[in-house]
């Protein structure tokens, strides 16, 4: 970037501070490259703000005042968790679990620990399976001083193989703990797996 001059600006909001460095051309630098670079920097800044706001939309356990707010909070957590699962964003996916998570699966057995669970998803799920929550099945219950228990039914699709692999369905229980400013899953029970009807 020998043909560029750096101009740095900072923007602060409730979500945090964003530093944007704009590069202005020196003599002879193509203007199209500058425009593309500025657009990319702006897009990255906007994505950062949106990600911070998405995480901030799930309130702390002690600020939840009623069942409707609890339902909304856990539904948002479920959506974010399985968005990461479906996109194979393993870093984001693993951030939803405590280090010593216990995952019980009626067909796959027991998986202990966040790293083992993440490795299992990488090996068995990424690029092979996507999950969808069955509408109307989500149940959420308050767990005093701890967090919430989430129960529901979900379906598993096999993108690109719908004609040879049936849609699967199963029930699940997630135990969410609110601790140190974050919601994380401590236990999972995934059971009653069968072909969807």
User: Could you tell me where the DSSP H helices lie in the chain?
Assistant: 31-56, 67-87, 90-94, 114-124
CATH number for position 169: 3.10.450.50
State the total domains in the chain: 2
> Range with the lowest mean pLDDT among 14-18, 26-30, 113-117?
14-18
Residue 81 contacts by C-beta under 8 Å, 6 or more apart in sequence?
93, 96, 185
- Record the pTM: 0.71
pLDDT value of position 35 = 52
What is the Cα–Cα distance from 79 to 91, expressed in whole angstroms? Answer: 16
Reported confidence tier of residue 39, pLDDT bands at 50, 70, 90: low
Of residues 78, 28, 34, 43, the one with CA closest to residue 58: 78
pLDDT value of position 44 = 43
Is the predicted pLDDT of residue 68 greater than 50, yes or no?
Answer: yes
Looking at mean pLDDT, say which of 12-26, 45-59, 134-148 comes out highest: 134-148
Domain boundary among 40, 56, 72: 56
Is the predicted pLDDT of residue 197 greater than 90, yes or no?
Answer: no
Tokens describing residue 73: 């909070």
Q: Are residues 27 and 92 in the same domain?
A: no
Q: Are residues 154 and 79 in the same domain?
A: yes
């Amino acid at each position: 970037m020998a043909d560029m001059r750096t101009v740095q600006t900072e923007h602060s909001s409730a979500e945090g501070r964003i530093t944007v460095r704009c590069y202005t051309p020196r003599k002879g630098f193509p203007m199209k490259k500058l425009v593309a670079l500025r657009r990319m920097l702006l897009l990255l800044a906007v994505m950062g703000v949106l990600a911070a706001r998405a995480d901030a939309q799930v309130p702390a356990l002690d600020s939840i005042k009623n069942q409707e707010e609890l339902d909304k909070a856990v539904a948002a957590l479920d959506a974010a968790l399985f968005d990461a699962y479906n996109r194979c964003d393993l870093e984001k996916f693993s951030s939803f679990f405590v280090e010593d998570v216990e995952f019980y699966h009626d067909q796959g057995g027991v998986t202990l620990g966040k790293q083992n669970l993440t490795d299992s998803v990488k090996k068995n799920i990424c690029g092979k399976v996507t999950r969808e929550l069955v509408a109307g099945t989500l149940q959420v219950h308050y767990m005093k001083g701890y967090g919430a228990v989430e129960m529901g039914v979900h379906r598993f699709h096999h993108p690109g193989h719908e004609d040879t692999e049936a849609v699967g369905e199963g029930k699940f229980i997630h135990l969410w703990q609110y601790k140190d400013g974050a919601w994380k899953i401590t236990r999972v029970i995934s059971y009653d797996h069968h072909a969807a009807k």
